[in-house]
Amino acid sequence: MPVITCIDDLKRLHRRRAPKMFYDYAESGSWTEQTFRENTTDFEKIRLRQKVAVDMSNRSTRTTMIGEEVAMPIALAPVGLTGMQSADGEIKAARAAEAFGVPFTLSTMSICSIEDVAEHTSKPFWFQLYVMRDEDFVDNVIGRAKAAGCSALVLTLDLQILGQRHKDLVNGLSAPPRPTPRTLLDLSTRWRWGLEMLGTKRRTFRNIVGHAKNVGNVQSLMSWTAEQFDPQLDWAKIRRIKEKWGGKLILKGILDEEDARKAVDVGADAIVVSNHGGRQLDGALSSIRMLPPILRAVGDQIEVHMDGGIRSGQDALKAVALGAKGTYIGRAYIYGLGAMGQAGVTRALEVLHKELDVSMAFCGRRDINDVGRDILYVPKDFEGEWQDA
Protein backbone atom coordinates (compact mmCIF):
# COMPACT_ATOMS: atom_id res chain seq x y z
CA MET A 1 0.00 0.00 0.00
CA PRO A 2 1.57 3.33 -1.04
CA VAL A 3 1.96 6.05 1.59
CA ILE A 4 -0.60 8.78 0.90
CA THR A 5 0.09 12.08 2.63
CA CYS A 6 -1.85 14.51 0.44
CA ILE A 7 -4.25 14.69 -2.50
CA ASP A 8 -1.34 15.13 -4.93
CA ASP A 9 -0.09 11.65 -3.96
CA LEU A 10 -3.43 10.23 -5.13
CA LYS A 11 -3.28 12.33 -8.28
CA ARG A 12 0.07 10.80 -9.27
CA LEU A 13 -1.27 7.28 -8.72
CA HIS A 14 -4.43 8.10 -10.64
CA ARG A 15 -2.40 9.24 -13.62
CA ARG A 16 -0.45 5.97 -13.65
CA ARG A 17 -3.38 3.62 -13.17
CA ALA A 18 -6.31 5.05 -15.16
CA PRO A 19 -6.49 5.20 -18.98
CA LYS A 20 -5.18 8.48 -20.33
CA MET A 21 -8.52 9.63 -21.78
CA PHE A 22 -10.24 9.33 -18.39
CA TYR A 23 -7.42 10.91 -16.42
CA ASP A 24 -7.39 13.77 -18.94
CA TYR A 25 -11.19 14.04 -18.73
CA ALA A 26 -10.88 14.76 -15.00
CA GLU A 27 -7.74 16.89 -15.20
CA SER A 28 -8.78 19.43 -17.81
CA GLY A 29 -10.61 22.69 -18.35
CA SER A 30 -12.01 24.40 -21.40
CA TRP A 31 -9.96 26.29 -24.01
CA THR A 32 -6.82 27.82 -22.41
CA GLU A 33 -7.70 26.37 -18.96
CA GLN A 34 -7.19 29.76 -17.28
CA THR A 35 -10.23 29.39 -15.03
CA PHE A 36 -9.34 25.77 -14.30
CA ARG A 37 -5.91 26.88 -13.04
CA GLU A 38 -7.12 29.94 -11.12
CA ASN A 39 -9.71 27.89 -9.24
CA THR A 40 -6.77 26.39 -7.36
CA THR A 41 -4.16 29.16 -7.42
CA ASP A 42 -6.56 31.78 -6.04
CA PHE A 43 -6.86 29.76 -2.82
CA GLU A 44 -3.10 30.26 -2.38
CA LYS A 45 -3.59 34.02 -2.17
CA ILE A 46 -5.62 33.69 1.03
CA ARG A 47 -3.57 33.10 4.19
CA LEU A 48 -4.49 31.70 7.59
CA ARG A 49 -4.11 33.54 10.91
CA GLN A 50 -2.26 31.44 13.48
CA LYS A 51 -3.32 31.53 17.16
CA VAL A 52 -1.41 30.00 20.08
CA ALA A 53 -1.97 29.22 23.77
CA VAL A 54 -5.61 28.29 23.11
CA ASP A 55 -7.47 25.13 24.08
CA MET A 56 -7.32 22.81 21.05
CA SER A 57 -9.02 19.79 22.65
CA ASN A 58 -12.43 18.28 21.82
CA ARG A 59 -12.54 19.60 18.26
CA SER A 60 -15.48 19.03 15.92
CA THR A 61 -15.85 19.44 12.18
CA ARG A 62 -19.48 18.30 12.25
CA THR A 63 -22.07 20.64 10.79
CA THR A 64 -25.09 20.56 8.45
CA MET A 65 -25.67 21.07 4.75
CA ILE A 66 -29.31 21.73 3.71
CA GLY A 67 -30.34 20.44 7.12
CA GLU A 68 -28.47 17.14 6.83
CA GLU A 69 -25.79 16.32 9.40
CA VAL A 70 -22.33 15.91 7.86
CA ALA A 71 -19.00 14.86 9.34
CA MET A 72 -17.36 17.90 7.74
CA PRO A 73 -18.58 20.61 5.36
CA ILE A 74 -17.44 18.72 2.27
CA ALA A 75 -19.68 16.85 -0.18
CA LEU A 76 -18.72 14.73 -3.17
CA ALA A 77 -19.64 16.70 -6.27
CA PRO A 78 -21.35 15.14 -9.30
CA VAL A 79 -18.74 13.95 -11.80
CA GLY A 80 -19.62 12.39 -15.14
CA LEU A 81 -18.03 9.09 -16.19
CA THR A 82 -16.95 8.32 -12.62
CA GLY A 83 -17.46 4.63 -13.35
CA MET A 84 -14.77 4.86 -16.03
CA GLN A 85 -12.11 5.95 -13.51
CA SER A 86 -12.61 2.66 -11.68
CA ALA A 87 -15.12 -0.12 -12.30
CA ASP A 88 -18.45 0.65 -10.60
CA GLY A 89 -16.90 3.94 -9.53
CA GLU A 90 -20.09 5.71 -8.49
CA ILE A 91 -21.00 2.84 -6.18
CA LYS A 92 -17.52 2.85 -4.66
CA ALA A 93 -17.55 6.62 -4.14
CA ALA A 94 -21.07 6.59 -2.67
CA ARG A 95 -20.17 3.85 -0.21
CA ALA A 96 -17.02 5.66 0.88
CA ALA A 97 -18.97 8.90 1.38
CA GLU A 98 -21.71 7.12 3.31
CA ALA A 99 -19.22 5.46 5.65
CA PHE A 100 -17.42 8.75 6.25
CA GLY A 101 -20.62 10.72 6.81
CA VAL A 102 -20.57 13.19 3.90
CA PRO A 103 -23.02 13.60 1.00
CA PHE A 104 -22.47 11.92 -2.34
CA THR A 105 -23.96 13.45 -5.49
CA LEU A 106 -24.67 11.19 -8.48
CA SER A 107 -24.34 12.76 -11.93
CA THR A 108 -26.94 12.35 -14.67
CA MET A 109 -23.95 11.36 -16.84
CA SER A 110 -22.87 8.58 -14.49
CA ILE A 111 -21.90 5.08 -15.54
CA CYS A 112 -23.75 3.44 -12.63
CA SER A 113 -27.45 4.31 -12.60
CA ILE A 114 -29.55 5.83 -9.83
CA GLU A 115 -30.89 2.35 -9.13
CA ASP A 116 -27.39 0.81 -9.07
CA VAL A 117 -26.23 3.24 -6.40
CA ALA A 118 -29.43 2.93 -4.36
CA GLU A 119 -29.09 -0.85 -4.37
CA HIS A 120 -25.58 -0.68 -2.90
CA THR A 121 -26.07 2.05 -0.28
CA SER A 122 -28.26 2.35 2.78
CA LYS A 123 -28.54 6.13 3.19
CA PRO A 124 -30.03 8.74 0.85
CA PHE A 125 -27.69 10.38 -1.65
CA TRP A 126 -28.14 13.48 -3.79
CA PHE A 127 -28.90 13.40 -7.52
CA GLN A 128 -27.61 15.95 -10.02
CA LEU A 129 -29.82 16.78 -12.99
CA TYR A 130 -28.88 18.09 -16.40
CA VAL A 131 -31.90 19.58 -18.15
CA MET A 132 -32.43 17.91 -21.53
CA ARG A 133 -34.64 18.84 -24.43
CA ASP A 134 -36.54 15.59 -23.91
CA GLU A 135 -38.97 16.61 -21.17
CA ASP A 136 -40.27 13.06 -20.79
CA PHE A 137 -36.75 11.91 -19.95
CA VAL A 138 -36.33 14.73 -17.42
CA ASP A 139 -39.65 13.92 -15.76
CA ASN A 140 -38.76 10.23 -15.73
CA VAL A 141 -35.33 10.68 -14.19
CA ILE A 142 -36.77 12.97 -11.50
CA GLY A 143 -39.31 10.26 -10.71
CA ARG A 144 -36.54 7.66 -10.53
CA ALA A 145 -34.54 9.85 -8.13
CA LYS A 146 -37.63 10.19 -5.93
CA ALA A 147 -38.22 6.45 -6.00
CA ALA A 148 -34.60 5.84 -4.98
CA GLY A 149 -35.06 8.10 -1.95
CA CYS A 150 -32.61 10.81 -3.04
CA SER A 151 -32.73 13.55 -0.41
CA ALA A 152 -31.78 16.49 -2.68
CA LEU A 153 -31.84 17.43 -6.34
CA VAL A 154 -28.77 19.32 -7.54
CA LEU A 155 -29.77 21.17 -10.70
CA THR A 156 -26.79 22.19 -12.85
CA LEU A 157 -27.38 25.50 -14.64
CA ASP A 158 -24.07 26.13 -16.40
CA LEU A 159 -24.13 23.39 -19.02
CA GLN A 160 -26.86 24.43 -21.43
CA ILE A 161 -24.24 24.03 -24.14
CA LEU A 162 -21.00 22.11 -23.84
CA GLY A 163 -17.72 23.95 -23.36
CA GLN A 164 -14.84 22.77 -25.57
CA ARG A 165 -12.22 20.69 -23.79
CA HIS A 166 -9.32 20.11 -26.15
CA LYS A 167 -7.99 16.97 -24.46
CA ASP A 168 -11.32 15.15 -24.80
CA LEU A 169 -11.41 15.88 -28.52
CA VAL A 170 -7.82 14.74 -29.05
CA ASN A 171 -8.38 11.56 -27.02
CA GLY A 172 -11.70 10.70 -28.69
CA LEU A 173 -13.40 10.41 -25.29
CA SER A 174 -16.18 7.83 -25.14
CA ALA A 175 -17.68 5.37 -22.68
CA PRO A 176 -16.74 2.62 -23.17
CA PRO A 177 -13.53 3.57 -25.02
CA ARG A 178 -13.55 3.00 -28.77
CA PRO A 179 -11.03 0.29 -29.76
CA THR A 180 -8.65 2.47 -31.78
CA PRO A 181 -4.94 1.52 -32.04
CA ARG A 182 -4.02 4.45 -29.80
CA THR A 183 -6.60 3.52 -27.17
CA LEU A 184 -5.70 -0.16 -27.23
CA LEU A 185 -2.03 0.66 -26.73
CA ASP A 186 -2.86 2.80 -23.71
CA LEU A 187 -5.20 0.19 -22.23
CA SER A 188 -2.53 -2.50 -22.60
CA THR A 189 -0.52 -0.74 -19.89
CA ARG A 190 -3.53 -0.34 -17.56
CA TRP A 191 -4.12 -4.04 -16.94
CA ARG A 192 -5.51 -3.62 -13.43
CA TRP A 193 -8.14 -1.18 -14.71
CA GLY A 194 -8.99 -3.55 -17.57
CA LEU A 195 -9.43 -6.59 -15.35
CA GLU A 196 -11.80 -4.68 -13.07
CA MET A 197 -13.82 -3.46 -16.05
CA LEU A 198 -14.17 -7.01 -17.36
CA GLY A 199 -15.79 -7.89 -14.04
CA THR A 200 -18.65 -5.39 -14.29
CA LYS A 201 -21.62 -4.96 -16.62
CA ARG A 202 -21.65 -1.20 -15.99
CA ARG A 203 -19.65 0.39 -18.83
CA THR A 204 -21.89 3.05 -20.34
CA PHE A 205 -24.32 5.79 -19.23
CA ARG A 206 -26.90 3.66 -17.43
CA ASN A 207 -29.08 6.61 -16.38
CA ILE A 208 -29.75 7.15 -20.08
CA VAL A 209 -29.49 3.85 -21.98
CA GLY A 210 -32.85 2.11 -21.79
CA HIS A 211 -34.54 5.21 -20.37
CA ALA A 212 -34.30 7.78 -23.18
CA LYS A 213 -36.22 7.28 -26.40
CA ASN A 214 -34.39 5.33 -29.09
CA VAL A 215 -31.21 5.00 -27.05
CA GLY A 216 -30.17 1.38 -26.84
CA ASN A 217 -26.50 1.27 -27.83
CA VAL A 218 -23.33 3.34 -27.71
CA GLN A 219 -23.80 4.98 -31.10
CA SER A 220 -27.38 6.11 -30.44
CA LEU A 221 -26.31 7.25 -26.97
CA MET A 222 -23.53 9.47 -28.32
CA SER A 223 -25.90 11.05 -30.85
CA TRP A 224 -28.55 11.62 -28.18
CA THR A 225 -26.21 13.28 -25.67
CA ALA A 226 -24.67 15.51 -28.36
CA GLU A 227 -28.09 16.98 -29.10
CA GLN A 228 -29.89 16.93 -25.79
CA PHE A 229 -28.55 19.63 -23.43
CA ASP A 230 -31.29 22.25 -23.33
CA PRO A 231 -30.04 25.69 -24.47
CA GLN A 232 -33.45 27.20 -23.57
CA LEU A 233 -33.21 26.42 -19.85
CA ASP A 234 -34.57 29.48 -18.01
CA TRP A 235 -35.97 30.39 -14.60
CA ALA A 236 -39.48 29.33 -15.60
CA LYS A 237 -38.22 25.83 -16.35
CA ILE A 238 -36.34 25.81 -13.06
CA ARG A 239 -39.61 26.59 -11.26
CA ARG A 240 -41.30 23.73 -13.11
CA ILE A 241 -38.53 21.33 -12.09
CA LYS A 242 -38.72 22.51 -8.49
CA GLU A 243 -42.47 21.82 -8.43
CA LYS A 244 -42.00 18.43 -10.10
CA TRP A 245 -39.29 17.43 -7.63
CA GLY A 246 -41.00 18.72 -4.49
CA GLY A 247 -37.97 18.26 -2.24
CA LYS A 248 -34.71 20.00 -1.37
CA LEU A 249 -33.33 21.84 -4.41
CA ILE A 250 -29.71 22.98 -4.85
CA LEU A 251 -28.87 25.19 -7.86
CA LYS A 252 -25.31 24.63 -9.08
CA GLY A 253 -23.38 26.95 -11.38
CA ILE A 254 -24.06 30.38 -9.86
CA LEU A 255 -21.26 32.87 -10.56
CA ASP A 256 -23.14 36.17 -10.58
CA GLU A 257 -24.92 38.16 -7.86
CA GLU A 258 -28.05 38.76 -9.94
CA ASP A 259 -28.35 35.06 -10.72
CA ALA A 260 -27.96 34.33 -7.01
CA ARG A 261 -30.89 36.65 -6.25
CA LYS A 262 -32.99 34.89 -8.89
CA ALA A 263 -32.16 31.57 -7.22
CA VAL A 264 -33.57 32.97 -3.99
CA ASP A 265 -36.69 34.15 -5.82
CA VAL A 266 -37.27 30.73 -7.38
CA GLY A 267 -37.25 29.14 -3.93
CA ALA A 268 -34.05 27.08 -4.02
CA ASP A 269 -32.76 25.70 -0.72
CA ALA A 270 -29.11 26.33 -1.57
CA ILE A 271 -26.85 27.53 -4.35
CA VAL A 272 -23.40 26.36 -5.36
CA VAL A 273 -20.98 29.08 -6.40
CA SER A 274 -19.34 27.22 -9.26
CA ASN A 275 -17.83 27.58 -12.72
CA HIS A 276 -18.08 23.84 -13.47
CA GLY A 277 -14.48 23.27 -12.45
CA GLY A 278 -13.27 25.62 -15.19
CA ARG A 279 -14.77 23.32 -17.82
CA GLN A 280 -17.32 25.70 -19.33
CA LEU A 281 -16.62 29.45 -19.65
CA ASP A 282 -12.86 29.86 -19.74
CA GLY A 283 -11.91 33.33 -18.51
CA ALA A 284 -14.59 33.37 -15.81
CA LEU A 285 -13.50 34.31 -12.30
CA SER A 286 -12.60 31.55 -9.88
CA SER A 287 -15.30 30.28 -7.54
CA ILE A 288 -13.44 31.39 -4.41
CA ARG A 289 -13.13 34.97 -5.76
CA MET A 290 -16.87 35.11 -6.49
CA LEU A 291 -17.91 33.62 -3.15
CA PRO A 292 -17.70 36.84 -1.06
CA PRO A 293 -19.76 39.11 -3.37
CA ILE A 294 -22.42 36.44 -3.81
CA LEU A 295 -22.59 35.98 -0.05
CA ARG A 296 -23.05 39.72 0.41
CA ALA A 297 -25.88 39.65 -2.14
CA VAL A 298 -27.88 36.70 -0.75
CA GLY A 299 -26.06 35.06 2.14
CA ASP A 300 -28.73 35.76 4.75
CA GLN A 301 -31.53 34.48 2.50
CA ILE A 302 -30.23 31.14 1.21
CA GLU A 303 -27.58 28.56 2.03
CA VAL A 304 -24.45 29.20 -0.04
CA HIS A 305 -22.05 26.41 -0.99
CA MET A 306 -19.07 26.48 -3.35
CA ASP A 307 -16.97 24.17 -5.50
CA GLY A 308 -13.94 24.51 -7.73
CA GLY A 309 -10.27 24.16 -6.87
CA ILE A 310 -10.49 22.47 -3.47
CA ARG A 311 -7.46 20.20 -3.17
CA SER A 312 -6.89 20.33 0.59
CA GLY A 313 -8.67 20.66 3.88
CA GLN A 314 -7.15 24.12 4.16
CA ASP A 315 -8.96 25.14 0.95
CA ALA A 316 -12.24 23.96 2.45
CA LEU A 317 -11.47 25.82 5.69
CA LYS A 318 -10.82 29.04 3.77
CA ALA A 319 -14.13 28.73 1.91
CA VAL A 320 -16.03 28.12 5.15
CA ALA A 321 -14.22 31.02 6.82
CA LEU A 322 -15.33 33.29 3.97
CA GLY A 323 -18.92 32.22 4.65
CA ALA A 324 -19.70 29.08 2.64
CA LYS A 325 -21.98 26.68 4.48
CA GLY A 326 -20.51 23.75 2.57
CA THR A 327 -18.00 22.84 -0.12
CA TYR A 328 -17.78 20.17 -2.83
CA ILE A 329 -14.85 18.15 -4.08
CA GLY A 330 -14.70 16.58 -7.54
CA ARG A 331 -11.16 15.97 -8.74
CA ALA A 332 -9.85 15.40 -5.20
CA TYR A 333 -11.95 12.27 -4.76
CA ILE A 334 -11.68 11.21 -8.41
CA TYR A 335 -7.89 11.06 -7.98
CA GLY A 336 -8.46 8.69 -5.07
CA LEU A 337 -10.95 6.59 -6.97
CA GLY A 338 -8.72 6.26 -10.03
CA ALA A 339 -5.73 5.47 -7.83
CA MET A 340 -7.16 2.96 -5.34
CA GLY A 341 -10.90 2.51 -5.88
CA GLN A 342 -13.16 2.86 -2.85
CA ALA A 343 -10.17 2.82 -0.49
CA GLY A 344 -8.74 5.77 -2.42
CA VAL A 345 -11.91 7.82 -1.97
CA THR A 346 -11.84 7.04 1.73
CA ARG A 347 -8.18 8.05 1.89
CA ALA A 348 -8.93 11.35 0.12
CA LEU A 349 -11.63 12.11 2.69
CA GLU A 350 -9.30 11.19 5.55
CA VAL A 351 -6.57 13.48 4.19
CA LEU A 352 -8.98 16.39 3.74
CA HIS A 353 -10.49 15.90 7.18
CA LYS A 354 -7.14 15.86 8.94
CA GLU A 355 -5.97 18.98 7.11
CA LEU A 356 -9.24 20.74 7.93
CA ASP A 357 -9.24 19.69 11.58
CA VAL A 358 -5.59 20.49 12.35
CA SER A 359 -5.60 23.79 10.47
CA MET A 360 -8.76 24.86 12.26
CA ALA A 361 -7.06 24.15 15.59
CA PHE A 362 -3.94 26.11 14.63
CA CYS A 363 -6.27 29.03 13.86
CA GLY A 364 -7.66 28.88 17.39
CA ARG A 365 -11.02 27.22 16.68
CA ARG A 366 -12.40 23.96 18.03
CA ASP A 367 -15.74 23.90 16.19
CA ILE A 368 -16.15 24.38 12.45
CA ASN A 369 -19.38 26.25 13.14
CA ASP A 370 -17.38 28.96 14.95
CA VAL A 371 -15.01 29.56 12.04
CA GLY A 372 -15.28 33.02 10.50
CA ARG A 373 -13.40 35.45 8.32
CA ASP A 374 -11.30 36.59 11.28
CA ILE A 375 -9.06 33.50 10.87
CA LEU A 376 -8.01 34.72 7.41
CA TYR A 377 -5.74 37.26 5.82
CA VAL A 378 -7.45 38.20 2.53
CA PRO A 379 -5.58 40.47 0.07
CA LYS A 380 -7.21 43.87 -0.33
CA ASP A 381 -7.49 43.36 -4.08
CA PHE A 382 -8.65 39.73 -3.85
CA GLU A 383 -12.07 40.33 -5.35
CA GLY A 384 -10.60 42.77 -7.87
CA GLU A 385 -11.98 46.04 -9.18
CA TRP A 386 -13.51 45.16 -12.53
CA GLN A 387 -14.95 47.66 -14.93
CA ASP A 388 -18.25 46.60 -16.48
CA ALA A 389 -18.74 47.14 -20.20
**pLDDT band of 389, cuts 50, 70, 90:** low
Residue 269 domain-assigned (yes or no): yes
Annotated binding-site members for FMN: 78-80, 107, 128, 130, 156, 252, 274, 307-311, 330-331
Residue 194 domain-assigned (yes or no): yes
For residue 292, cis peptide bond before it (omega within 30 degrees of 0): no
Residue 388 domain-assigned (yes or no): no
Q: Name the residue range of residue 342's domain.
A: 7-377
Domain count, the chain: 1
Please tell me what DSSP assigns to residue 368.
G
CATH number at residue 279: 3.20.20.70
Residue 384 domain-assigned (yes or no): no
Residue 386 domain-assigned (yes or no): no
Annotated binding-site members for glyoxylate: 25, 165, 276, 279
Residue 263 domain-assigned (yes or no): yes
Alpha-carbon distance values, 82 to 127, 138, 299, 335 (Å): 14, 21, 32, 11
**pLDDT band of 174, cuts 50, 70, 90:** confident
pTM of the entire predicted model = 0.96
- The stretch 22-40 carries a mean pLDDT of 97
Would you state the pLDDT for residue 373?
A: 97
- Alpha-carbon distance 245 to 65, whole Å? 19
- Alpha-carbon distance 329 to 313, whole Å? 10
Would you state the pLDDT for residue 61?
A: 98
Residue 387 domain-assigned (yes or no): no
| Spatial contact of 6 and 343, defined as CB atoms under 8 Å apart | no
Query: Which residues are identified as catalytic?
Result: 276
Is pLDDT of 88 > 90?
A: yes
- Alpha-carbon distance 349 to 374, whole Å? 26
Q: What is the pLDDT of residues 306-349, one digit of tens each?
A: 999 999 999 999 999 999 999 999 999 999 999 999 999 999 99
